[in-house]
């Protein structure tokens, strides 16, 4: 005690205290932080992956995101802290590398193999802490579990359908941007999109929406793809507009064809009467003006 | 062919060699059935495909009634909250209104329930479409002229009732789309100045959505409006019988007769056959193409919404008018005047519908024509009316397109804002342009008709004369065809004499007359006429070929 009180006025005492406090906070944060990040922790990156990932990044991404991923003003955002999940989503759905800068970068067939994507994800993930590529147990929900699917449906209609449409068919946003269709998207990419909030999408991290809720939403979407949707041809599941278009084109056309058919057919009896009229009067029945 | 002016073809007599059924002949000679029902069963209807458009509406309405009765047996119009445990897994355990739960039940657990729901809905879309197409046919052929103005008004009322009925039906299942539509409807009611709030509270029994509206809407949908429609359809058909059907001009077809086929047996067979064709088409459609999958929308809760929420097509023009309206709002002494909702949802349809309803009377006032008309106009022969009609269609069409602006944007990779501004310009420019183009096209077609009448049909046969001159042979039209092309009257603008008489006294009603002359000039100063002199000149061989 004596030594401590004697040295508390030492010129370096404040720095020591500050250092200790920071250490405690850092340690606490690291323990708590890792416990919440553990949920999405996957296999650790290997040194080979990091080297390969950096090489791929520098050859294919750095023109917009800069040599070390710190971003270029006006063309590509900084990738420090976006996490491996963002890379896996953006490159895995073919959005990155982008072909051109427009209102929105659209998906296309991916140009990298999954191994290459993993390498780039590992490299970007190492640049700063961010959501990791999720484990399949997180996103592969059971589409036949009624409780899970119905909870997912409620959450989907509350949080997602205003942009993606109730059937996940997609919808328009402002200035030429749009919420894409979710009918073909893989379950992993849906989960990653919720985690990282690509482009205009909000981020649904684990504090906003629990991993179980995210899993339920995915189970619901899978169920609506594979489950019961009776009634016939769905006309794109975009609601009354396609129904109206269908009725005004194909159905109206069909009905008019039938109307013409019925309107054009006159009976044999009346033809016989016309012939009778012409034979008895000697006049042309169709030209009597 | 028989005509009403000529005695109807009797069982025997006029056509002595026509064999009649001995049994009915025996009965008729003793009971006189034929004489009593002759007027009805020998009623003559002319043949043309466009005269069958109204029948499509009638027969789809019958199908709506039949399938609707089926649905009422299972539908429960209640806002009472239940937890769903039916066979549609994704909604298991979700709490919802009984209205929605019973609609799910009809769709998944009642035998043929989904088929009947889809029949009901497709038939409703076809019903309203047929009404509008029928109405356009009446408009463009001038079949609304005296003595049919009242029937035009009845038809117009039927269309408005159809819109309301359709919207009520769309709102009943209480799914997310229904609720969204009702939310907009409640907003529209609220935008009415001064009384809006009171009317809304009165209709919804309190704040939106409340618990009263679905049961109330149900009564309106299955009782009130259908009864009105049935009554007015009956009146509509009685008037068609009483006033006789219109016909196209042609040899033997005059303003005083109807040339066609009798109701029994020919038209009964034709119309009956057409009815079953329509039933067949609707059932096929309902069996093959999904409509309004309410299970995908989920139950209505005011905190949810879906992208691509649109009404059925017949309310689409109101949706579009709302979507393209700039966000104008005034706040006067703490009261909000919402022009952003009031103008697109009440003023625009108000003007459109009023114009539609009064058109026969307006046109009659401008032309001053008080005669009866039973011969239809070919649209080209009334360029201004046709142009006004196409202008109206364009106006409606732009509103309609704007109602689907988000889907146009996503499907054609456009920006919603750019589309909105395009529609805002087009709503004014489009009808004007359509008016001008249509009028020019109609006048052009008339000139072509005139050319055909005066110079005959171009045969494509080229003759070389001995002098080496090449000429094309024109074949004169048949007398019947010439009559068909020249039977119409050419409407000329109203000429006003001096406004004051010799004593300097102004003519009574001068201001209205001046207005009439102005409208008449705008409509009829461009016209194409074949004068008797021109015709005689051609006949006399002074023509240029």
The proportion of chain B whose per-residue pLDDT surpasses 70, expressed as a percent, equals: 95
Q: Is residue A122 domain-shared with residue A168, that is, in the same domain? A: no
- Mark yes or no for CB contact A255/B90 under 8 Å: no
The domain in which residue A161 lies consists of 136-227
| pLDDT for residue B416 is more than 80 | yes
Contacts of B522 (CB under 8 A, 6+ apart): B384
For residue range A143-161, list pLDDT tens digits in order.
Answer: 888 899 999 999 999 999 9
Q: Is residue A266 domain-resident?
A: no
pLDDT at B363: 95
Q: Is residue A74 domain-shared with residue A94, that is, in the same domain? A: yes
Among B251, B289, B312, select the one facing A244 at the smallest CB separation. Answer: B312
* C-alpha A221: how far from chain center: 11
pLDDT band at residue A274, thresholds of 50, 70 and 90?
low
For residue range B176-186, list pLDDT tens digits in order.
Answer: 999 999 999 99
The 10 Å CB-count burial string (b at 16+, else e) for B266-284 is bbeebbeebbebbbebbbe
For residue range A70-87, list pLDDT tens digits in order.
Answer: 888 888 889 988 989 999
Q: Please state whether beta strands B2-3 and B259-262 pair in parallel, antiparallel, or not at all (unpaired).
A: antiparallel
Q: Is residue A163 domain-resident?
A: yes
Contacts of B292 in chain A (CB under 8 A): 240, 243
Q: Is residue A107 domain-shared with residue A147, that is, in the same domain? A: no
Distance CA A155, CA B2 (A): 69
Mutate to test the interface with B, among A163, A239, A288 (most CBs of B within 10 A): A239
Contacts of B360 (CB under 8 A, 6+ apart): B144, B145, B148, B149, B152
| pLDDT for residue A36 is more than 50 | no
**CB-CB contact of B497 with B513 (8 Å):** no
| Overall domain count for chain A | 2
The alpha carbons of chain A give a radius of gyration, in whole angstroms, of 33
For residue range A203-239, list pLDDT tens digits in order.
Answer: 998 899 999 999 999 999 999 888 778 888 988 888 8
| pLDDT for residue A40 is more than 50 | no
Instruction: Please report, for the domain that includes residue B209, its CATH number.
Output: 1.20.810.10
Q: Is residue A210 domain-shared with residue A157, that is, in the same domain? A: yes
Least confident piece of the model among B58-72, B129-143, B416-430, B444-458: B444-458
Q: Is residue A105 domain-resident?
A: yes
Q: Is residue B272 domain-resident?
A: yes
B429 or A138, higher pLDDT: B429
The proportion of chain B whose per-residue pLDDT surpasses 90, expressed as a percent, equals: 67
Closest among B105, B82, B103, B83 to B93, alpha carbons compared? B83
- Cα of B466 to nearest chain A Cα, Å: 37
Average pLDDT over residues B357-365: 96
Average pLDDT over residues B289-296: 94
Contacts of B9 in chain A (CB under 8 A): 273
**CB-CB contact of B1 with A274 (8 Å):** yes
Closest among A213, A210, A209, A69 to A147, alpha carbons compared? A213
For tokens 């409006």, name the residue.
B225
| Overall domain count for chain B | 1
Neighbours of B307 (CB within 10 A): 25
Contacts of B95 in chain A (CB under 8 A): none
Instruction: Please report, for the domain that includes residue A212, its CATH number.
Output: 1.10.760.10
> Would you call A150 an interface residue with chain B, using a CB distance cutoff of 8 Å?
yes
Distance CA B17, CA B473 (A): 45
Q: Is residue A183 domain-resident?
A: yes
Q: Is residue A30 domain-resident?
A: no
> Would you call A279 an interface residue with chain B, using a CB distance cutoff of 8 Å?
no
| pLDDT for residue B224 is more than 90 | yes
Last residue in a domain, options A105, A127, A149: A127
For residue range B65-117, list pLDDT tens digits in order.
Answer: 999 999 999 999 999 999 999 999 999 999 999 999 999 999 999 999 999 99
Biggest distance spanned by C-alpha atoms of chain A: 143
Q: Is residue B218 domain-resident?
A: yes
The 10 Å CB-count burial string (b at 16+, else e) for B224-247 is ebbeebeebbeebeebbeeebbbb
Closest among B226, B214, B179, B212 to B67, alpha carbons compared? B226
Last residue in a domain, options A183, A210, A227: A227
For residue range B445-485, list pLDDT tens digits in order.
Answer: 999 999 888 888 888 899 999 999 998 888 888 888 888 98
Q: Is residue A234 domain-resident?
A: no
Q: What is the DSSP letter of B103?
A: H
Distance CA B142, CA B386 (A): 10
Last residue in a domain, options A227, A253, A275: A227
**CB-CB contact of A182 with A239 (8 Å):** no
pLDDT band at residue B407, thresholds of 50, 70 and 90?
very high
Distance CA B154, CA B134 (A): 13
The proportion of chain A whose per-residue pLDDT surpasses 90, expressed as a percent, equals: 39
Q: Is residue A115 domain-shared with residue A171, that is, in the same domain? A: no
> Would you call B247 an interface residue with chain A, using a CB distance cutoff of 8 Å?
no
Concatenate the DSSP letters of all residues of B383-434 into one string: HHHHHHHHHHHHHHHHHHHHHTHHHHHHHHT--HHHHHHHHHHHHHHHHHHH
pLDDT band at residue A282, thresholds of 50, 70 and 90?
low
Q: What is the mean pLDDT of chain B?
A: 90
Q: Is residue A56 domain-shared with residue A92, that is, in the same domain? A: yes
Distance CA A121, CA A89 (A): 10
Average pLDDT over residues B1-27: 55
Sheet holding B44-45, edge to edge: B2-3, B259-262, B44-45
Q: Is residue A110 domain-shared with residue A153, that is, in the same domain? A: no
Q: Is residue A164 domain-resident?
A: yes
Q: Is residue A119 domain-shared with residue A151, that is, in the same domain? A: no
Distance CA A116, CA B406 (A): 37
Minimum Cα–Cα distance from B181: chain A residue = A240
Least confident piece of the model among A264-278, B305-319, B470-484: A264-278
| Composition of chain B by helix, strand, coil, percent to 5 | 60, 10, 30
The domain in which residue B105 lies consists of 45-299+309-377
> Would you call A163 an interface residue with chain B, using a CB distance cutoff of 8 Å?
yes
Average pLDDT over residues A161-178: 91
| pLDDT for residue A240 is more than 80 | yes
| pLDDT for residue B541 is more than 80 | no
Q: Is residue B103 domain-resident?
A: yes
pLDDT at B539: 66
| pLDDT for residue B543 is more than 50 | no
């Amino acid at each position: 005690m004596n030594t401590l009180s004697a040295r508390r006025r030492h010129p370096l005492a404040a720095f020591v205290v500050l250092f200790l406090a920071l250490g405690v906070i850092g340690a606490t944060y690291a323990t708590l932080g890792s416990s919440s990040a553990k949920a999405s922790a996957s296999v650790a990156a290997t040194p080979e992956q990091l080297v390969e990932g950096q090489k791929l990044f520098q050859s294919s991404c750095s023109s917009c995101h800069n040599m070390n991923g710190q971003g270029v003003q006006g063309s590509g955002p900084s990738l420090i802290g976006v996490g491996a999940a963002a890379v896996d989503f953006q490159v895995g759905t073919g959005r990155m590398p982008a072909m051109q800068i427009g209102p929105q970068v659209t998906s296309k067939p991916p140009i990298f193999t999954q191994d290459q994507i993993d390498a780039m994800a590992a490299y970007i993930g190492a640049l700063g802490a961010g959501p990791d590529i999720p484990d399949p147990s997180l996103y592969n929900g059971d589409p036949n579990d009624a409780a899970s699917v119905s909870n997912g449906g409620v959450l989907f209609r509350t949080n997602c359908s205003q942009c993606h449409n109730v059937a996940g068919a997609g919808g328009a946003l402002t200035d030429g941007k749009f919420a894409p269709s979710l009918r073909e998207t893989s379950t992993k990419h849906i989960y990653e999109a919720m985690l990282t909030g690509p482009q205009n999408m909000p981020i649904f991290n684990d504090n906003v929406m629990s991993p179980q809720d995210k899993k339920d939403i995915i189970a619901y979407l899978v169920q609506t793809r594979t489950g019961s949707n009776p009634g016939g041809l769905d006309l794109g599941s975009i609601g009354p507009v396609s129904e109206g278009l269908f009725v005004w084109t194909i159905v109206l056309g069909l009905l008019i064809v039938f109307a013409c058919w019925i309107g054009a057919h006159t009976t044999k009896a009346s033809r016989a009467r016309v012939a009778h009229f012409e034979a008895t009067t000697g006049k042309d029945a169709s030209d009597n003006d | 062919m028989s005509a009403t002016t000529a005695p109807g073809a009797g069982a025997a007599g006029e056509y002595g060699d026509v064999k009649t059924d001995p049994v009915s002949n025996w009965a008729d000679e003793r009971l006189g059935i034929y004489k009593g029902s002759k007027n009805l069963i020998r009623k003559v209807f002319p043949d043309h495909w466009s005269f069958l458009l109204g029948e499509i509406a009638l027969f789809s309405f019958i199908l709506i009634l039949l399938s609707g009765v089926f649905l009422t047996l299972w539908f429960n119009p209640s806002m009472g909250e239940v937890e769903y445990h039916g066979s549609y897994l994704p909604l298991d355990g979700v709490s919802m209104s009984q209205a929605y739960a019973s609609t799910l039940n009809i769709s998944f657990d009642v035998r043929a329930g989904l088929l009947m729901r889809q029949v009901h809905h497709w038939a409703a879309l076809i019903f309203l479409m047929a009404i509008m197409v029928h109405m356009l046919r009446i408009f463009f052929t001038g079949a609304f002229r005296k003595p049919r103005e009242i029937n035009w008004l009845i038809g117009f009322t039927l269309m408005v009732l159809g819109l309301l009925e359709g919207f009520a039906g769309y709102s009943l299942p209480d799914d997310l789309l229904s609720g969204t539509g009702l939310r907009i409807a409640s907003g529209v009611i609220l935008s009415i100045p001064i009384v809006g709030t009171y009317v809304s509270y009165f209709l919804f029994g309190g704040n939106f959505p409340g618990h009263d509206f679905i049961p109330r809407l149900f009564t309106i949908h299955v009782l009130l409006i259908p009864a009105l429609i049935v009554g007015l359809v009956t009146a509509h058909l009685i008037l068609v019988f009483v006033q006789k059907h219109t016909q196209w001009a042609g040899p033997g077809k005059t303003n005083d007769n109807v040339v066609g086929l009798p109701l029994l047996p020919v038209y009964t067979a034709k119309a009956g056959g057409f009815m079953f064709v329509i039933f067949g088409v609707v059932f096929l459609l309902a069996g093959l193409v999904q409509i309004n999958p309410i299970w995908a929308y989920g139950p209505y809760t005011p905190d949810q919404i879906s992208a691509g929420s649109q009404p059925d097509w017949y309310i689409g023009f109101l949706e579009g008018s709302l979507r393209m309206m700039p966000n104008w709002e005034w706040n006067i002494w703490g009261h909000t005047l919402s022009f952003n909702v009031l103008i697109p949802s009440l003023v625009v349809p108000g003007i459109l519908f009023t114009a539609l309803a009064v058109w026969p009377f307006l046109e009659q006032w401008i032309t001053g024509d008080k005669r009866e008309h039973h011969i239809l106009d070919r649209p080209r022969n009334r360029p201004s009316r046709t142009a006004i009609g196409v202008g109206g269609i364009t106006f409606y069409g732009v509103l309609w397109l704007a109602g689907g602006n988000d889907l146009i944007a996503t499907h054609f990779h456009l920006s919603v804002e750019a589309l909105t501004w395009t529609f805002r310009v087009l709503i004014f420019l489009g009808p004007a342009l359509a008016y001008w183009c249509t009028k020019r096209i109609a006048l052009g077609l008339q000139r072509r008709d005139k050319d055909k009448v005066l110079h005959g049909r171009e045969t494509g046969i080229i003759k070389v004369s001995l002098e080496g001159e090449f000429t094309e042979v024109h074949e004169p039209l048949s007398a019947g065809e010439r009559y068909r092309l020249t039977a119409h009257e050419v409407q000329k603008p109203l000429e006003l004499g001096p406004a004051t008489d010799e004593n300097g006294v102004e003519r009574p009603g001068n201001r209205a007359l001046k207005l009439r002359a102005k409208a008449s000039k705008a409509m009829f100063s461009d016209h194409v006429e074949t004068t008797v002199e021109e015709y005689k000149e051609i006949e006399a061989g002074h023509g240029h070929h």
